[in-house]
């Protein structure tokens, strides 16, 4: 804490930047004169451990003291809560992450049972950390003017919304959620005045992000982003802790006392940190009820344990380069972010992967908070670099489930945000009076393989023939990456608008896995999508033909009924199979056979429409039927 800082009560409220990290969190600001800086505690340490302890007396402890209490009260002390953000209680990753008591074994939101008969969720825990950072900033700066909070680039919609809710719960005015790699690039771009194309390699305690972006005279354009929301330093600690657990006498998969788990993880983290500077570490681990456990760990041994984790980052890096249309030699630099990038193996791997030594001139622990403070200063209109423009992107595609379970992507991944797009859909069945809208996120062609974000129904549509209703669905993604969906039936003006507040934790698979699945199943997904689309079209044609024949049998010529019935039967059989090309061919065949019959029906309809009517009236009534768009599933009222 600076002893020379004197707060001016007449000064404008100061905006702050917050790095809400998995292991540690920081708060930074931009002084009136000078560069962005992090706020220090009384020990001149900018890091606040992201640890919250709930005591039996009702008190809540945050930071270093909570970290000290973790070994004695492991089930009442929540560590690395960021990894629980946006996850459900029945998520496999949730059950793997710590020695906690969960209030429920299923449900859309994780709930921890802690001391004092309290039940808290990750949003409330994160709010305690943010509240502590807010108090720290207020003690130093006085009145605050809002905050920019950083999130991993690969946080999905549920995790972003959960983070924003935590900020509000802590009493902060959340100016924006900013992707961590973009924040780091902002710190480097304004601090070093560098222009060029950069990769930001961000390996923190719980998440990994890689972002390819271009810095050009104050414009920060993200070209692509990738990563793994469940990969970080915690996983390295866990790999080493498993060795310590075996040395304690517990077999793999055995049920461990909660205290032993915390002791092993804390010891592993301490050893990992020590091996950053040393080649060999002798650790003495205090084990309850037994003699201290002595363990010698070399840097080479640690490298063997964590190498598979480090190599996982390379998959996302190569994909991000490919998505940006670049190779490693096209980069002007690689920026390291996150405390886990201090590990020597990580730095060697990054240098080999990108063919150059990474940039480390700004402390990797502090660079994200500094970038967030710069962005907060700009948003508050107090920044000296008011010409800066940030162009971030969507990490995953957003779309709607259409008939047959296929996904109509409305906003593709790597679309610059904020962004808006709309698409028109129509009805599948006659007299359909509602639309079920299922919003999904992901790269797979079928909705069941993507992450479900929200469902809602647009009701009250007057009964119309299939294809007559016109539903315009609009997606708006704000600068925080949070989605708002609006739907309007154009012929009636009926409208509904919702901000997608996702059901936290709907998906079991992490986002990185979703992308891997999209690549691995691309050929099968395309074939399955084509099959489903042809099956849906076949069903629609069959229903329409059967209805037409039943209502207008008098218009059939001799032999037409038999030919149509035979074509219908062949199409029905093909629609049960797997050959989408055969279904398509038989649809065309049925269409050719029915064309004369359809022409006679059209002639009769026109004659009736013109009887006593003006041409203008007819044109106006039939204009809605022009064009072909995807069909939505029938609504609840259908």
Question: How high is the pLDDT of residue 106?
Answer: 63
User: Is 470 contained in some domain?
Assistant: no
Which of 76, 128, 157, 180 is the catalytic position?
180
Active site residue 202: yes
199 and 113 both lie in a single domain: yes
User: Is 500 contained in some domain?
Assistant: no
Closest CA to 458 of 491, 428, 488, 490: 488
254: exposed, middle or buried (Cβ count in 10 Å: 0-12, 13-18, 19+): exposed
User: Is 28 contained in some domain?
Assistant: yes
User: Is 514 contained in some domain?
Assistant: no
Find out whether 125 and 100 touch, Cβ atoms under 8 Å: no
Which of 339, 374, 393 delimits the end of a domain?
393
User: Is 71 contained in some domain?
Assistant: yes
The pair phi, psi for residue 625, each rounded to 5°, is -85, -5
Q: How confident is the model at residue 464 (pLDDT cuts 50, 70, 90)?
A: confident
User: Is 468 contained in some domain?
Assistant: no
Which of 19, 128, 401, 476 is the catalytic position?
19
Find out whether 554 and 505 touch, Cβ atoms under 8 Å: no
361 and 244 both lie in a single domain: no
134 and 279 both lie in a single domain: no
148 pLDDT higher than 60? yes
* CATH number of the structural domain spanning residue 605: 1.20.1270.10
Q: Which residue has the tokens 């640890």?
A: 51
pTM of the entire structure?
Answer: 0.60
50 and 181 both lie in a single domain: yes
Taking the CA of residue 142 as centre, how many other CA atoms within 13 Å lie in the half-sphere pointing to its CB?
Answer: 11
37 and 157 both lie in a single domain: yes
314 and 288 both lie in a single domain: no
Question: How high is the pLDDT of residue 5?
Answer: 47
Which of 67, 76, 82, 272 is the catalytic position?
82
Cα angle 437-443-447, degrees, rounded to a multiple of 5: 35
Active site residue 595: no
Which of 393, 427, 462 delimits the end of a domain?
393
118 and 258 both lie in a single domain: no
Closest CA to 450 of 461, 459, 439: 439
**Region of residue 361 (left: phi > 0; alpha: psi -120 to 50; beta: else):** alpha
Of residues 162 and 317, more confidence is placed in 317
Of residues 425 and 608, more confidence is placed in 425
- The domain total for the chain is 3
Q: Which residues of 590-606 are buried (b: 16+ CB within 10 A; e: fewer)?
A: beebbeebbeeeeeeee
SS3 content of the chain, % helix, strand, coil (to 5): 40, 25, 35
Q: Say what percent of the chain tops pLDDT 90.
A: 21
Active site residue 377: no
296 pLDDT higher than 50? yes
Q: How confident is the model at residue 137 (pLDDT cuts 50, 70, 90)?
A: very high
Find out whether 102 and 78 touch, Cβ atoms under 8 Å: no
* CATH number of the structural domain spanning residue 296: 3.90.640.10
User: Is 179 contained in some domain?
Assistant: yes
204 and 189 both lie in a single domain: yes
213 and 189 both lie in a single domain: yes
Give the mean model confidence (pLDDT) for residues 97-110. Answer: 72
258 and 165 both lie in a single domain: no
Of residues 395 and 624, more confidence is placed in 395
> Which residues form the domain of 247?
234-305
Which of 91, 156, 157, 202 is the catalytic position?
202
542 and 601 both lie in a single domain: yes
Which of 305, 328, 348 delimits the end of a domain?
305
146 and 48 both lie in a single domain: yes
Question: How high is the pLDDT of residue 468?
Answer: 77
Q: State the pairing for strand pair 398-401/407-411.
A: antiparallel
User: Is 571 contained in some domain?
Assistant: yes
Q: What is the pLDDT of residues 1-31, one digit of tens each?
A: 444 444 555 557 889 999 999 889 999 999 8
Q: How many CB atoms lie within 10 A of CB 516?
A: 17
């Amino acid at each position: 804490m600076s002893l020379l800082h004197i707060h001016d009560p007449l000064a404008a409220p100061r905006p702050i930047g917050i790095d809400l990290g998995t292991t540690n969190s920081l708060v930074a600001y931009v002084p009136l004169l000078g560069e962005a800086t992090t706020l220090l505690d009384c020990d001149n340490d900018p890091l606040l451990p992201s640890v919250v302890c709930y005591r039996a007396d009702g008190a809540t402890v945050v930071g270093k003291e909570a970290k000290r209490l973790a070994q004695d009260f492991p089930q009442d002390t929540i560590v690395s809560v960021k990894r629980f953000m946006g996850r459900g209680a029945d998520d496999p990753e949730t059950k793997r992450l710590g020695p906690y008591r969960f209030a429920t074994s299923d449900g859309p939101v994780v709930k921890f049972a802690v001391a004092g008969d309290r039940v808290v969720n990750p949003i409330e825990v994160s709010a305690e950390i943010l509240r502590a950072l807010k108090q720290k900033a207020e003690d130093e700066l006085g009145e605050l003017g809002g905050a920019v909070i950083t999130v991993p680039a690969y946080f999905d919609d549920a995790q972003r919304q959960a983070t924003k809710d935590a900020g509000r719960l802590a009493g902060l005015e959340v100016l924006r959620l900013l992707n961590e790699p973009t924040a780091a690039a902002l710190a480097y771009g304004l601090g070093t005045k560098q222009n060029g194309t950069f990769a930001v390699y961000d390996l923190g305690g719980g998440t990994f992000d890689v972002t390819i972006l271009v810095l050009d005279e104050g414009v920060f354009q993200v070209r692509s982003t990738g990563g793994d929301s469940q990969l970080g330093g915690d996983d390295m600690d866990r790999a080493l802790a498993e060795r310590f657990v075996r040395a304690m006498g517990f077999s793999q998969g055995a049920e461990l006392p909660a205290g032993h788990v915390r002791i092993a993880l804390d010891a592993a983290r301490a050893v990992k940190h020590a091996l950053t500077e040393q080649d060999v570490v002798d650790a003495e681990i205090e084990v309850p009820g037994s003699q201290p456990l002595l363990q010698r760990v070399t840097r080479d041994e640690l490298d063997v344990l964590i190498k598979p984790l480090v190599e996982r980052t390379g998959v996302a890096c190569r994909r991000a380069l490919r998505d940006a249309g670049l190779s490693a030699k096209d980069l002007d630099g690689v920026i390291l972010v996150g405390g886990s990038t201090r590990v020597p193996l990580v730095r060697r791997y990054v240098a080999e992967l990108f063919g150059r030594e990474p940039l480390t001139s700004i402390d990797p622990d502090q660079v994200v908070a500094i970038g967030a403070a710069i962005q907060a200063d700009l948003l508050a209109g107090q920044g000296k670099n008011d010409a800066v423009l940030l162009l971030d992107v969507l990490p995953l595609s957003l779309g709607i489930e259409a008939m047959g379970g296929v996904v109509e992507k409305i906003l593709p991944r790597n679309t610059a945000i904020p962004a808006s797009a709309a698409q028109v859909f129509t009805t599948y069945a006659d007299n359909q009076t509602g639309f079920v809208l299922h919003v999904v996120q992901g790269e797979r062609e079928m909705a069941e393989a993507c992450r479900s974000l929200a469902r809602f129904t647009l009701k009250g549509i007057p009964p119309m023939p299939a294809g007559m209703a016109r539903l315009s669905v609009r997606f708006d993604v704000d600068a925080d990456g949070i989605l708002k969906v609006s739907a309007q039936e154009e012929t009636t003006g009926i409208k509904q608008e919702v901000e997608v507040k996702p059901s936290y934790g709907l998906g079991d698979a992490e986002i990185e896995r979703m992308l891997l699945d999209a690549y691995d199943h691309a050929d099968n997904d395309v074939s399955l999508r084509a099959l489903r689309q042809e099956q849906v079209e076949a069903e629609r044609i069959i229903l329409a033909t059967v209805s037409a024949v039943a209502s207008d049998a008098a218009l059939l010529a001799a032999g037409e009924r038999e030919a149509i019935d035979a074509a219908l039967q062949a199409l029905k059989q093909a629609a049960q199979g797997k050959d989408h090309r055969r279904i398509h061919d038989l649809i065309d065949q049925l269409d050719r056979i029915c064309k004369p019959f359809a022409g006679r029906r059209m002639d009769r309809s026109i004659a009736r429409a013109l009887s006593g009517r003006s041409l203008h009236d007819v044109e106006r009534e039939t204009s809605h039927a022009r064009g072909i768009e995807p069909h939505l599933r029938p609504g609840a009222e259908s």
